[in-house]
Structure formats: structure tokens, C-alpha cells
Structure 1
């Protein structure tokens, strides 16, 4: 299967370029928290994640965090889904987006959630859109 580089994948996703511009890099979602995940049989399913940039600065014994945002992933045409270990708190070690433009999969996008604690899994969808709301979640 042919996979694209992650930065170029964001160029193909509506809202992806804006997200890269906000963070200044491709986010790895390390230590991000899944706020909610709504699945719809028909229509758009959504995944909302709180993420930020971690700086090299330390204040009061903790790394300074900046550019907090709630990232909104919207999936249409989910073709395959595998999820496990949803919990009261769901912290990500990494979130990876792959794209398969060569037709090796029947859907172009695959989002993999690698857990630190809680939810893990994979979502394959025909369409993926990304948005964000700057700031910490309410």
C-alpha cells in the first residue's frame, strides 16, 4: 500500500492546512485528550480532541503549553471501524492520518489512535474534514 507523507496528507483534507498553520507543524497529538466521539450510522461522525504545543520552557516544574485548541475531526462514509478501551479519560500517545490514493483501500483516509490511556483504534472513511476552536475546552 502506498502512503503519503503526513504533511502532504493535511494538504488534501479540508481544514488541514489551517490546522498546520495554527500549530506551526504536523501535530503528533502526544498527551492530547479525546473529549468526545460521536458515531452516526448515516451522516457525519465526529471526534473532538484537546491538544496544544509543548514548549521547551519550564515554569513551576512544568513545561509551558501554548496554542491550546479543540480539534474537530468529521468523518463521512465510514467504511471500517475498530475501537477499544473507551474510558473516563482517554489520552493519546499518537494520532496518525494515512491516505491511500492508489486505491489499495476502498477509502482514502485512515485515522489511527494509539493510546496512552483509554481509547485506541482505527477509523477508515471516504471523507475527512478537520477544524479547530482555539483555546482550552469549556
Structure 2
């Protein structure tokens, strides 16, 4: 699926991974909810997701030694109908589904989002807009760059 029409800043992910990542084995490191958001954005959900991609084949040590670790900061604006559960210390995903919701007749809500949980968090909601705010290299535990951010 081409996510470009639905997501602002999708090129930030494409520059690092070359394609839309699967979000399989990704881990949600942090979530924030803001009932007002900034400007006229309405309720906002921000997620910091540690993405891991293995490239190449298998060597003597097992799966490819080339692993890409990146921390993606996603923002979802105008969030409504939020359902979430399972938050824990790991929060592994088996996928992140972002789909066009405009055909469902939800006036003003164009994007349907599902955090497909593997172990821990799972969430679903609709929103007006999705933005990838940043994608930065990170340590294998996903925490290095979060430590630099004001929390």
C-alpha cells in the first residue's frame, strides 16, 4: 500500500528503510495523549516506536549482522474513538495498520489506525491526520534518543 497520501512525512521512513517497514517486532517505547493538541489539531496521540529491520542473509552468528534500529516519532491529530489496552514494559507490535477511513462516512476523519499488538499494547482509533515527525538512529534497546528528549 502506498501510504504517502495518508501520512505527512512518510519520506522520513522511506529514507531509512527504503520502503514502508512491516512494524513486526517493533516496540512502542512511549505514548502521549493530549486532549487539546497544538493549534486546531484537537486530541493528539504521539507514539515513539522502536523499529528493527534485519537485512541480508545468515552468517555464522545467525541472522544477518546488519540490523537497522530507528526510533520513529509519529503524531496522530484529531483522534477519536480510541480503544487501547495491554500496555506493559515490552509493547511489541506485529504490525501498524493505517488505512483510508473516508469511505466509512466519518465526516472529517480520514485515517483509521490500528496498533496490532503482539505482546503488550494494542490500540485502534480514527483521526484526521498522521505525521511522521522524525526517524532517528537509536541503540538496540531503543532508548538512547529518548533519553535526550525533554519528557
Category of TM-score, reference length = shorter chain: 0.7 to 0.9
> Hey, what does 2:147 align to over in structure 1?
none
1:133 aligns with 2:135: yes
> Hey, what does 1:86 align to over in structure 2?
87
TM-score, normalised to structure 2, is 0.77
> Hey, what does 1:100 align to over in structure 2?
101
Superposed, 1:28-67 pairs within 5 Å as 28-43=22-37, 44-59=44-59, 60-67=61-68
Greater relative contact order (Cα 8 A, min sep 6): structure 1 or 2? 1
Q: How far is 1:111 from its partner?
A: 1.4
TM-score, normalised to structure 1, is 0.84
Q: How far is 1:79 from its partner?
A: 1.5
Q: How many residues align?
A: 132
Task: Tell me the secondary structure at the aligned position of residue 35 of structure 1.
Answer: strand
Cα gap change, 1:133 to 1:20, in 2 (>3 Å): closer
> Hey, what does 2:148 align to over in structure 1?
none
2:128, 2:6 → 1: CA distance? 13
The structure carrying a bigger strand percent of its residues is 1
Which digits, 9 at most, give the CA deviation of each residue in 1:87-106, with x for residues without a partner?
11100111111112335233
Q: Is the 8 A contact 2:12 2:135 kept in 1?
A: no
> Hey, what does 2:13 align to over in structure 1?
19
Task: Tell me the secondary structure at the aligned position of residue 87 of structure 2.
Answer: coil
Which digits, 9 at most, give the CA deviation of each residue in 1:27-55, with x for residues without a partner?
11000011011111111321110003211
Which digits, 9 at most, give the CA deviation of each residue in 1:81-132, with x for residues without a partner?
0111111110011111111233523311111111110001212111211133
Larger Rg: 2
Cα gap change, 1:95 to 1:12, in 2 (>3 Å): closer
Task: In structure 1, list runs of 5 or more residues that go unmatched.
Answer: 1-5
1:27, 1:67 → 2: CA distance? 11
